[in-house]
Amino acid sequence: MIKLSIDTNSVLVKGLDKPLKSEITVPADKSISHRAIMLGSIANGNSIIGKLSVSRDNLATVAAFRKLGIRIEKMTGENKIKVHGNGLYGLKEPQSVINTYNSGTLTRLIAGILAGNDFFSVLSGDKYLNSRPMARIIAPLALMGAKIFGRKNNYPPLSIIGSKLNSIYYDVQIPSAQVKSCLIFAGLYADGNTVIYEKNKTRDHTERFLSLQDYPFTEEDTADGGNIINIKGGGELKPFNIEIPGDFSSAAFFIALGLLLKDSEITIKNVLLNDRRIGLISILKRMHANVEIIDYSEEFEKVGTIKASYSKLSAINIAEKDVPDMIDEFPIFAVIASFAEGVTVVRGAKELRVKETDRIKAIVTNLNKFCIKSKEYSDGFEIEGNPDYSGQLYKYNNSEQKLAHINKSNNFDVLNDSTEKKDAGRFQIKSYGDHRIAMSMLILALLLKNKETEVKDVRCINTSFPNFFNILNSIID
């Protein structure tokens, strides 16, 4: 049983000593949940959303649209939410700052909507969110005529004075579904047609909603493998009735556990299988993983069952073109690579530096604390994998970590560099306030048979996966 210590905001994890055979479901997709609330709020009529994610990020979106005057209610006796859409121009000026907590998606997407609404609003989040770059949306929105200002012209708080927007052609240089979606939203409010070109395709949930809501827009593949979206301003969004599938990015932690824990098999049902989200599956197959999609169906999104069983993995090279389709999975991918035979190299992933934390630094620092050889590149990282790795503290040569151990317990006098004794002490790892780093490190800790790891600052897991510990405990107890 893994128990969160409320006082210290940490967990103590003991590595598992037996295989797992389990079938689970994971909570609803975070990206789709954000968009369902946003697009339901500006639709003409009431939308019904089944199984909305209740992660902290998604609840922040619900609170934001309630603050903008939208009625959003839980339907009695059902796991469904009703959003009373009020049309493109039915939002009210918020009376206070909109708190976007830890959510980059909320901040960037809502900015596109607010830029087209004739009132004043301010967006501000937690210390991590307020350190994330916003020039990527400020610049194109300003080109559309929006009055949007940020700290140092780049960081939240953002203040927005909405107005009529003009349409633009915009080449989204950074592969980012958040930037693309922000501009699609602003395009709804622009005169004429807004045209967005993305060289590297990114998740297309916003476009799928526009189709579902019968909104006038077109989408076309380009000869170079990119995508052009053309949105007509001033159309009407129809209400919808959907059920949101499980989040692949949450499922990925359990896929890793199934692949890496000896003789295990984990099946995850009802998972979103959008092609732009499951890049990790193709990469894992190239690493010789036993991971399969065992059935699927498609309505407004592709949904299915994934089975992951214990595998002997080989290292892999990840290049820039592979990155967008697995952008959120790098923390858990790093754990997987730690057990793959050979050296795994990730390049072309500099976006990882500006996620919930600098994920390149967080991954490498933490793996090195586990004595897994790993190094940073400006745009990626390298990991020397070892299929037999079981958490040898004795190899450790970072004095900071060693001191932390020595100070914490008197068992640590066995920890000197010449000793052959393994298994002494406990790993101590930080999440850097990043939900996905926290969960990845917890999975790594579970793989180290009978070893103890303390993972600090884990409450951030609520950002995307509030029942992570419940699901984990239900399969390991």
List interacting residues with ligand S3P (CB under 6 A). 31, 105, 176-178, 181, 202-203, 327-328, 351
Angle of CA points 436, 442, 444, to nearest 5°: 105
Which residue is at the shortest CB distance from ligand S3P? 31
Q: Which is nearer to ligand S3P, 212 or 445 (CB)?
A: 212
Structure token pair of residue 336: 């997987």
Q: How far is the CB of 413 from ligand S3P (least distance, A)?
A: 44
* Residues ≥6 apart with Cβ < 8 Å to 454: 10, 11, 12, 13, 426, 427, 428, 429
Q: How far is the CB of 445 from ligand S3P (least distance, A)?
A: 23
Q: How far is the CB of 439 from ligand S3P (least distance, A)?
A: 14
3-state secondary structure of 303: strand
Q: Which is nearer to ligand S3P, 69 or 226 (CB)?
A: 226
> For residue 135, which amino acid is it?
A
Q: Which is nearer to ligand S3P, 204 or 454 (CB)?
A: 204
Q: How far is the CB of 351 from ligand S3P (least distance, A)?
A: 6
* Residues ≥6 apart with Cβ < 8 Å to 9: 456, 457, 458, 459
Q: How far is the CB of 143 from ligand S3P (least distance, A)?
A: 19
The Cβ of residue 197 has, within 10 Å, a number of other Cβ atoms equal to 18
Q: Which is nearer to ligand S3P, 117 or 178 (CB)?
A: 178
Q: Is 263 labeled as catalytic in the residue annotation?
A: no
Q: Which is nearer to ligand S3P, 351 or 358 (CB)?
A: 351
Which one from 214, 328, 434, 477 is the annotated catalytic residue?
A: 328
Of 428, 437, 442, nearest to 356 by C-alpha is: 437
Q: How far is the CB of 451 from ligand S3P (least distance, A)?
A: 31
**Distance of CA 174 to CAs 197, 271, 282, 349, 356, Å?**
11, 27, 23, 11, 17
Strand ranges across the sheet with 10-14: 4-5, 10-14, 452-456, 426-430
Tell me the C-alpha distance between 466 and 477, whole Å: 19
Of 153, 116, 122, 161, nearest to 137 by C-alpha is: 153
Q: Which is nearer to ligand S3P, 105 or 121 (CB)?
A: 105
> For residue 353, which amino acid is it?
R
Q: Name the residues annotated as catalytic.
A: 328
